[in-house]
């Protein structure tokens, strides 16, 4: 398969995996936040009752978890495509 066709063929797979990664990252973040802070919900940036440190720590943790989950899901999807097609998606 040529590169433009390979890229076009992988795009729908990438979109589905992106949505799945976002959902999975949200679930993982909520569980980690419960363990770390002992609370069900992370602070909202506009919650007047929460301090800067807590809000920024929650945002940093959420961003890190999202990035790691997204990279893992993308990498797994690319590996799966290579197994099915014999080519790495570009």
What are the tens digits of pLDDT across the range 13-68? 888 888 999 999 999 999 999 998 898 889 999 999 999 999 999 999 999 999 99
Would you say residue 90 lies in a domain?
A: no
Evaluate if residue 81 carries a pLDDT over 90: no
Show Cβ contacts of residue 82 under 8 Å, excluding neighbours closer than 6 positions: 88, 89
Would you say residue 33 lies in a domain?
A: yes
Q: How confident is the model at residue 3 (pLDDT cuts 50, 70, 90)?
A: low
Q: What is the pLDDT, as a whole number, of residue 29?
A: 95
Would you say residue 51 lies in a domain?
A: yes
Evaluate if residue 2 carries a pLDDT over 60: no
Would you say residue 54 lies in a domain?
A: yes
Q: How confident is the model at residue 5 (pLDDT cuts 50, 70, 90)?
A: low
Angle between helices 52-85 and 3-37 (to 10 degrees): 140
Number of domains in the chain: 1
Question: Which string of DSSP letters, residue by residue, matches 9-61?
Answer: HHHHHHHHHHHHHHHHHHHHHHHHHHHHHS-SSPPPTT-TTS-HHHHHHHHHH
Q: What is the pLDDT, as a whole number, of residue 69?
A: 93
**Structural domain boundaries, residue 37:** 3-85
Would you say residue 69 lies in a domain?
A: yes
Would you say residue 81 lies in a domain?
A: yes
d(C-alpha 35, C-alpha 30), whole Å: 9
């Amino acid at each position: 398969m040529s590169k433009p066709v390979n890229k076009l063929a992988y795009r729908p797979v990438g979109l589905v995996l992106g949505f799945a990664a976002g959902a999975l990252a949200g679930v993982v973040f909520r569980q980690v936040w419960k363990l770390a802070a002992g609370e069900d919900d992370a602070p909202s940036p506009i919650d007047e009752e929460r301090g800067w440190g807590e809000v920024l720590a929650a945002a940093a943790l959420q961003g890190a978890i999202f990035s790691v989950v997204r990279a893992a899901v993308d990498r797994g999807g690319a590996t799966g495509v290579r197994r099915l097609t014999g080519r790495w998606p570009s």
